[in-house]
Chains A and B, each alone.
Chain A
Amino acid sequence: MDTSQLLKGVLDLAVLAVLRDGDGYGYDVLRRLRQAGLEDVADASVYGTLRRLFQAGALTSYVQPSEEGPHRKYYGLNKTGRDLLAQSTKTWNHFADTMSVLLVEKEAA
């Protein structure tokens, strides 16, 4: 099964989770997602997700100079973002549990 299809549904949650550990700029978020094991994540979709969450008011954004050169735009969770993460985590866990039970029962049957 193609994980990129699954990712589309949960990319919001994954990005929020990564940002819970600390603010990050786009490429940094992308790298952390890959390190966490989501290798199939598409670069552009991560940037698009960041924009959508920002537009939805779940993220703050600020520019910080970097040692290497250009300024970087950092994103971080605000209260709305943390609430959204908590709610989405619940939804996901419930969904994952349901799926697990479903799949286990199917195998057992």
Chain B
Amino acid sequence: MNSTVTGAVAIYLAQVRAELSDLPSGELEDVLEDVSGHLTEVAAEFEAEPTTEALQERLGTPREYAAELRTAAGYPPRTQPVADRDAARKALRWGLVAATAGPFLVAIGIFYWSHDETVFFGVLGFAVLFLAAYLGVRALRDNDPRIVLEDPRGRRGAEAVRGLVDQIPPNVRSELVTIGQPVWWVARGAIGGGGFFALFGAGAVAVVGAVAGAAVSIWIGRRTQQDRRWLWYVVPLNIVAAVAVPAFLSAAYMGASFGFLNDYGDYSSSSSYTPDGLVLNGTPVSNIYPFDAQGKQVSVRLYDQEGNPIALRLEDCEASYGRTDRDSTSNVVPHRVITGDESGNFGEEPNCRDTDKAPFVPPPAPATATPAPTPTGTPSASASSTPTGTTPTPTPAPGTTPRPAVTLTVQPTR
């Protein structure tokens, strides 16, 4: 009966309901059923649908109507102040912001490919969610959270939800509550707690986080049943979980990589990041030009102390424009690299040119080919005969002199 009223009648009815909201809920529904019928009949007295003013002229203000009803029915006088309609409206509005904008941003974060955006949108989304929820609860002030149901908009929403719930067969409904609710509490908590730690790169404690999250989730669920103000936080968080839980499950099942599930060890955000490949003093080595003792460039195969090939990425014409079926790396050096023409232009396929000729001239080979562990000063005859007292400068022999500052690191090339 109540669901059929519209317009001014619905507003008037909602205001009467607010005035009588201190009644026991059963009696409240019964009396409002009568009032709804009354208002419908009164509205039918008018030729067109009555305005709020017309109704008030005929029946008095909703407050007067409710007071008259209360006296005649012998209901106890109202003790608590009538629900602050402004508070209800504001609390409802902030609740809606928390339940829409927050989860929307978090959802963007979840489905984003990269870690940085996931964190950005995730943090932003949760910040919006919690801020709006906080403002919603604050807008309630000391009112009962149920006052939002007295707001016309809140009432319509509640009726819509109730209509949907009524579609579910009663036996399924009770099973959903007894079995579905605890399962949902655990699932949302586990994925929320685990996801939080996984997001910040602490994959190892994600399992602990999942267990802790499930425990917190159950506690929150029980708290919310006692204090309905928690709903301002719990409903938006449930919406987030409703997106995250299926996303997580499908990702885990299909092995798809959503942003928040990626292996963050691969990302440069980690402080211990080291690039793949061969590195000399922190700089990637892209090619190696071996020269023999006579200063002649030679081709060699490189292996490390374990016998693993030291393979470098191929960057010749074939790699850039041609075949893709061969290995992308090779330990035979020097590699051919693409070279520019006289004017410095790099030719496009098929004019691409590459060469394995060193782009530099190696310093002259040392006088002796004997590998000497210590630098050998070779004082020249002119130095000893010069009476100026100049200390003969030892000339380090390139290639044979260890340079302690140099570190050569090899990462397995993928």
Contact = CB atoms under 8 A, between A and B. Distances in A.
A51 B64 CA distance: 18
A45 B71 contact: yes
A73 B33 contact: yes
Contacts of B71: 45, 48
Max count, chain B CB within 10 A of own CB: residue among A51, A52, A69, A71? A51
A49 interface: yes
A72 interface: yes
A46 interface: yes
Given A43-B59, A71-B1, A73-B34, A48 B70 contact: yes
Interface in B61-84: 64-66, 68-75
Interface in A35-76: 42-52, 55, 69-73
A44 B37 contact: no
Contacts of B65: 43-44
Most buried by B among A25, A26, A30, A44: A44
A43 B42 contact: yes
B306 interface: no
A24 to B, nearest CB: 12
Interface string B33-75: 1111110111000000000000000011000111011111111
A48 B31 CA distance: 8
Given A44-B66, A51-B31, A70 B72 contact: no
A69 B72 CA distance: 28
Contacts of B4: 69-70
A51 B73 contact: yes
A30 B4 CA distance: 22
A25 B73 contact: no
A47 B33 contact: no
Size bracket, chain B contacts? 20 to 34
Contact of A43 (B1, B30, B31, B38): B38
Contacts of B40: 69-70
A44 B69 contact: yes
Interface in B306-320: none
Contacts of B36: 70
Given A51-B30, A73-B33, A46 B42 contact: no
A70 B70 contact: no
Chain A binding surface, main DSSP class: helix
Interface residues of A, number: 22
A84 interface: no
A50 B73 CA distance: 7
B69 A45 contact: yes
B64 to A, nearest CB: 8
Nearest to A49: B72
Contacts of A73: 33-34, 37
Contact of A48 (B41, B64, B68): B68
Given A42-B68, A44-B66, A70-B40, A51 B34 contact: yes
A92 interface: no
A10 B167 CA distance: 47
Contacts of A52: 72-74
B1 A47 contact: no
Given A43-B59, A69-B4, A73-B33, A27 B68 contact: no
Contacts of A70: 1, 4, 36-37, 40
A11 interface: yes
Nearest to B30: A51
A-B complex: 6 closest residue pairs judged by Cβ atoms: A48-B72, A48-B73, A44-B68, A45-B72, A27-B41, A48-B69
Given A26-B38, A48-B71, 4 more contacts: A27-B38, A44-B60, A47-B38, A47-B69
Interface of B: 1, 4, 27, 30-31, 33-38, 40-42, 59-60, 64-66, 68-75
22 contacts: A27-B41, A42-B68, A43-B59, A44-B60, A44-B64, A45-B71, A45-B72, A47-B38, A47-B73, A48-B69, A48-B71, A48-B74, A48-B75, A49-B72, A51-B30, A52-B73, A52-B74, A69-B4, A70-B1, A70-B37, A72-B37, A73-B37
